[in-house]
Amino acid sequence: DAGVTQSPTHLIKTRGQHVTLRCSPISGHKSVSWYQQVLGQGPQFIFQYYEKEERGRGNFPDRFSARQFPNYSSELNVNALLLGDSALYLCASSLEVTARYSVNTEAFFGQGTRLTVV
Amino acid sequence: AQSVTQPDIHITVSEGASLELRCNYSYGATPYLFWYVQSPGQGLQLLLKYFSGDTLVQGIKGFEAEFKRSQSSFNLRKPSVHWSDAAEYFCAVVIFTGGGNKLTFGTGTQLKVEL
């Protein structure tokens, strides 16, 4: 079975440009979350989507946006790129989102997209 | 605020030696805790998790962790380290936020294994 797949694996952008990152969850998973991992740091939560609705947003500027499609895949968009946006962007999927922990809320991570802003 | 602290940024051990990576949490209720491993340029792989019951949990690759509420700790251990264990290790706690949940990670511990 395919795991969480992210595309592209690497990309280089120039300051001020826009970027779109893509994520396909594990088959049957209805929730997708996005994390930013700056070099030398732990991942930071950006967004969570479940059944196409936003269920959580981290402390990121409005330049960051996301959406989830009917097939549960997701896009993360970042506008007006800054040098500080250079990071590994991780996508995680889970079966569902509930009010308490269960095996169905366990997150499975993709390999990430390495974004370099120059 | 709920948080996770990993006090050791880098740890070096000899192959075959025992390993303990420290993790302390700050959380008001019973925490749900995780350890992930990340190889260079890769995503995160779940090693083990604690959410109730036995405070000593077993994971993959021979790792185990012990939840100690009195010390607010969830330290990761392995009796004998292999060279392939060299990687970065992250402790995390899941935070439930009205309608959703998110993982809050520590800053990670980089493990180097000397042959």
Q: Can you give the length of chain A in residues?
A: 118
Q: Are B86 and B111 in contact (CB under 8 A)?
A: yes
d(CA A33, CA A99) in angstroms, rounded, equals 16
Residue in B43, B97, B101 nearest the CB of A111: B43
Q: Tens of pLDDT along B66-107?
A: 999 999 999 999 999 999 999 999 999 998 887 889 999 999
Name the β-bridge partners of A87.
A115
Q: Tens of pLDDT along A46-63?
A: 999 999 999 999 999 999
Q: Are B40 and B15 in contact (CB under 8 A)?
A: no
Residues of B in contact with A33 (CB under 8 A): 102-103
Q: Are B62 and B51 in contact (CB under 8 A)?
A: no
Q: Tens of pLDDT along A6-29?
A: 999 999 999 999 999 999 999 999
Cis peptide before B7, with omega less than 30 degrees from 0? no
> Do B108 and A42 count as a contact with CB atoms less than 8 A apart?
yes
In angstroms and rounded to an integer, the radius of gyration of the C-alpha atoms of chain B is 14
